[in-house]
Amino acid sequence: MSSDLDDFWFCRQGFGASVCAHAAGLPVKTDTPVVAVTRTPAGVDIETAEGKITAGHVVVTVSVGVLSSGAMLFDPADLPIQEDTWVSYPIEDISGSMARGGGILCNISGSGLCSFEHVGNFAREMEAAGEDAAIDFALSRMADVFGNSIRNAFIKGHATRWAANRYTLGDYSGTLPGAAGLRPLLRAPHEQVIHFAGEAMNVGETVCISGAHKEGLRAAQEVIAAT
């Protein structure tokens, strides 16, 4: 009987013999475990038990068991997701206008950095709880999405406290569910001579620097048109 698998059988001499035959003539170092692979501007640095190797590229073929054990670290951390991916998850509860949830911008620019974001009273609650509590909450949510093994890739975290800054009293704008359509109303001039601008007024690019920039240009054009 013929099948597509006819050429795929065990090797009589053992698979080790097959590997050696394929690597004939190549410099091979055995018994040299790799402990870290770091991305650099020139390529990669590979930390081994016997020193560092630099290369333009590296091919990693260790087993899934080794990868998940944390014995080999990757910097930036290897995330099971494309760079600059926005991940959201169901809000846990809404009570007293408090939405206990947020979103995660993952693998920013391929760096392994992730940014967890939340708004409103819940953000203030997290600030009051302290940095360690905020980081633990964000890491727990990531573990809910990607699995608990994601904790092995965690190196360090930092939590901002924009609500405590008297010059900002918060970060960018956020709306309650169903209220996003009110944003354009913020654009309306007050008494015809007081104009408002900022990312909160922009519908398409809210919470973005680009949205704030465009709204500034829009307000400036309104002033020019009125004078």
> Residue ranges of the domains in the chain?
15-75, 85-164, 180-226
Specify the pLDDT at position 211: 86
- 180-226 maps to CATH 3.40.50: no
Specify the pLDDT at position 1: 44
DSSP readout, 128-169? HH-HHHHHHHHHHHHHHHH-GGGGGG--------GGG-TTTS
pLDDT in tens, 187-223: 888 878 788 888 888 888 888 888 889 989 999 998 9
Specify the pLDDT at position 34: 93
pLDDT in tens, 65-122: 787 677 888 887 676 678 889 888 766 665 555 667 778 898 888 888 899 888 778 8
Question: Is the model's pLDDT at 128 over the cut of 60?
Answer: yes
Distance between CA atoms of 134 and 146, rounded to whole angstroms? Answer: 18
Contact 72, 34 (CB under 8 A): yes
Reported pTM: 0.58
Q: Which of 203, 204, 201, 225 is nearest to 215 (CA)?
A: 201
Lowest mean pLDDT across 9-18, 43-52, 93-102, 164-173 = 93-102
Most confident range, picked from 59-68, 136-145, 167-176 = 136-145
